[in-house]
Amino acid sequence: MHFPSTIGGICLAVTSLTHAINVDVNTTQSLTTAAKAVASRIVEIYSNTSTNIGLFPAPYYFWESGLTWDTLILYWALTGDSTYNDLVGEALLSQMGSNNDFMPANQTKNEGNDDQAFWALAAMTAAERGLPTPQEASANVTWIQRAQTVFDEQVARWDDQSCGGGLRWQIFPFNNGYDYKNALTNGNFAQLAARLGAFTGNATYTHWAMKTLQWSYDSGLISSSGAVYDGFSTTTNCSQANHIQWTASAGAYISAAASVMSATNAAPFWTTALNNLTSAIDLVFVQDGVLYESACAPGNYCSTDQLAFKSILLRALSMVQDLGTTDSTTNFNTTTPNSNNTSLAFITPLLRASAQAAAAACSGGTSGKDCGSDWTTANYDNSTGLGQELNALQAFLSNLPKKEVRNVNSTGGSMGTSGVSNGTGNGSSAGTSNGTQIYSSGAAGSLGVAIGMGVSLMFACALLL
């Protein structure tokens, strides 16, 4: 399970009867093409099955639609393909509810704080990337204002009455789970707060991100070594954590910690926290050199929700990688570990190997491009659905070059808060040239390139201990 410090690679020959998605993780063009294929399938699933604007139907819950739109905004930002922007904008607006808080009447009876936050995070991404606002009556509320509204509501739900703080999973007492304080809820809230802080420069948000992280450590929701547990009950004052670990919860906290670390110019405490969180995933969620949902994949009993979780961690890891590759102020270097980040060197090879394996696993169904769920086999595992596509899409996006996110000072787009605008920001500054080397030192270089056309032999390389 543990990613080796020295990597040995061997190649396994796998016969494929199908058209896998090809990807060369070294080239922008290839990653973009692969992402495009998967994004198009995701939108096709939506078009073919949706009965309400903005929502994928059962078995997909409300939150997963929010995550999908979020991912498609990132897709546009990193590939430049704006084909789905109008659709995504309409989808977000359609589920906004009358208070601009992503609590539409149809959802409120069973919507949790974590669900609401997924939509708020999509609005956050829309602000950071400058997604145009659709021409509608409600269009004069900005994306960032929607994210702020959700933040304000969740702050008001912060509960000091039990467990020394934290957010409850559910919003309403009549729902099962109101007595549960969990990692995904608090991690999502911390991430929203941290990104609001980075976007607006308002320290109140960053404060709440830190406070939530600190509470998560103090309460034992996150272990001192950085393992993120699922949650605990307020009925026992959060004394007995459910120790199961999910990629999504770790990802939510890693994204939060990465933003906080950046906001504090790599204050040692937060640098260590990010290091600990990130290195902990190496111990739990990596198998055969690729990302793995270890709590359910072995028995093949991941739920529909859980089948989308890897995308959340993949996105978080690319945030950390972006800090390392471009932010010299943080002392983060994912290429060359130093005493501040001894364990981060595994991120780039993990992202590359995961993308390669995900591509090879996108070889199922009648199209020959349905994405499977388990990447360790580098082959389609007969598991098909929205989550599987989202994981694969994010795997490709996580290897694309970083593009700067906007903030309150950026010009253009529709991100403004209260008229503060003095822009130097540019939402698309990083290179998009074809065939350029993206990350120079990935140790996954021995991975074979899938050559799937017709009946073919694919060489999928597994990284072994």
Ligand X SMILES: *[C@@H]1O[C@H](CO)[C@@H](O)[C@H](O)[C@H]1NC(C)=O
Which residues are CB-neighbours of 427 under 8 A, at least 6 positions away? Answer: 77, 129, 130, 403, 404, 405, 406, 410, 412, 413
Applying the rule CB under 6 A, the residues between 436 and 465 that interact with ligand X are 442, 445, 449
Nearer CB in complex with ligand X: 29/428: 29
328 belongs to the binding site for ligand X (CB under 6 A): yes
Taking a C-beta distance cutoff of 8 angstroms, is the pair 120, 126 a contact?
no
Binding mask 68-107 for ligand X (x = CB under 6 A): --------------------------xx--------x-x-
Amino acid at 455: V
Nearer CB in complex with ligand X: 55/347: 55
Report, in Å, the least distance between residue 314 CB and ligand X.
19
401 belongs to the binding site for ligand X (CB under 6 A): no
135 belongs to the binding site for ligand X (CB under 6 A): no
24 belongs to the binding site for ligand X (CB under 6 A): yes
Query: Can you name the residues that pair with 460 across neighbouring β-strands?
Result: 12
Applying the rule CB under 6 A, the residues between 170 and 189 that interact with ligand X are none
Amino acid at 110: N
**Choice from 132, 201, 220, 337 touching ligand X (CB under 6 A):** 201
Report, in Å, the least distance between residue 137 CB and ligand X.
4
What are 297's two structure tokens?
């994949």
Which region among 22-30, 156-164, 306-314, 392-400 touches ligand X (by CB under 6 A)? 22-30
Q: Say how many residues touch ligand X, by CB under 6 A.
A: 49
Which residue bears the tokens 């922008």? 28
Alpha helices in 137-267 (DSSP H): 143-157, 183-200, 203-219, 247-263
**Choice from 335, 384, 411, 426 touching ligand X (CB under 6 A):** 335
Q: How many alpha carbons lie under 13 Å from residue 424 in its C-beta half-sphere? A: 0
Nearer CB in complex with ligand X: 236/451: 451
Which position's Cβ is nearest ligand X?
445
Which residue bears the tokens 């032999």? 457
**Choice from 14, 256, 273, 371 touching ligand X (CB under 6 A):** 273
Measure the N-to-C terminal CA separation of the chain; round to a whole number of Å. Answer: 8
Binding mask 210-229 for ligand X (x = CB under 6 A): --------------xxx---
**Choice from 26, 85, 188, 391 touching ligand X (CB under 6 A):** 26
d(CA 305, CA 45): 16
What are 405's two structure tokens?
């996110």
d(CA 149, CA 96): 11
d(CA 400, CA 318): 9
In eight-state DSSP terms, residue 380 is -
Q: How far is CA 410 from CA 81, 86, 197, 413, in A?
A: 21, 22, 15, 9
Binding site for ligand X (CB under 6 A): 24, 26, 29, 41, 44-45, 48, 52, 55, 94-95, 104, 106, 137-138, 140, 148, 152, 201-202, 204, 224-226, 266, 268-269, 272-273, 276, 328, 331, 333, 335-336, 338-340, 381-382, 407-409, 422, 433-434, 442, 445, 449
